[in-house]
């Protein structure tokens, strides 16, 4: 996927257009905001978009799923498998940005130093216990690579709001010395 930038013609400050065929997200900005962008972005620089999903249930339903076990292809086992695959993509991206070896397998790939705490958290995941360190370390490593995160839950209410508040307060503490 890639991100293109353009200007809005509908009077809004911000609008989005997507093209599944071209695998492109176009961010349209008002001319005032667009003018504040660096010249390199105004000239049509392509911004790579690398979507990666790390999962960890945190509510009581996850606790029950962990206790009861799960069928093949669902529940905790599925989360563990998805996290390992996502880590491989994430680590390879870090390697491409900063050099080092790239591999198809998390267990044999050289782990980039920015990704090492996330690799440890993923290696420690268990089908019987929640490991929220995965979410914390994924966010930390994403920010370290200049990326952004999205947090969501099934209902999109309480857990999402709590997670967003946690990440915002950590960013304030880490980057601005507050808290």
Give yes or no: 8 in active site. Answer: no
- Distance CA(147)–CA(94), nearest Å, equals 11
Q: Provide the 8-state DSSP code for 141.
A: H
Residue 41: other Cβ atoms inside 10 A? 13
Q: What is the dihedral of CA 80, 83, 88, 93, to 10 degrees?
A: -170
Q: Edge to edge, what strands does the sheet with 2-7 contain?
A: 14-19, 24-29, 2-7, 47-48
- Distance CA(118)–CA(14), nearest Å, equals 34
User: Which of 8, 97, 153, 178 is an active site residue?
Assistant: 153
Catalytic residues: 153
């Amino acid at each position: 996927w890639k991100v293109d930038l353009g200007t809005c013609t509908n009077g809004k400050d911000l609008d989005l257009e997507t093209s599944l065929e071209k695998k492109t997200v176009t961010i349209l900005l008002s001319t005032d905001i667009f003018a504040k962008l660096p010249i390199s972005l105004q000239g049509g620089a392509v911004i790579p978009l690398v979507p990666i999903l790390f999962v960890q249930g945190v509510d009581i339903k996850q606790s029950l799923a962990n206790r009861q076990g799960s069928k093949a292809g669902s529940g905790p086992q599925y989360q563990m498998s998805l996290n390992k695959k996502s880590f491989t993509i994430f680590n390879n991206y870090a390697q491409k940005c900063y050099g080092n070896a790239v591999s198809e397998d998390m267990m044999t790939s050289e782990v980039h130093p920015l990704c090492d705490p996330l690799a440890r958290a993923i290696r420690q995941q268990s089908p019987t216990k929640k490991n929220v360190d995965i979410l914390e370390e994924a966010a930390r490593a994403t920010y370290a690579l200049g990326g952004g995160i999205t947090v969501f839950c099934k209902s999109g209410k309480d857990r999402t709001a709590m997670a967003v508040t946690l990440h915002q307060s950590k960013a304030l503490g880490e980057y601005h010395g507050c808290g």
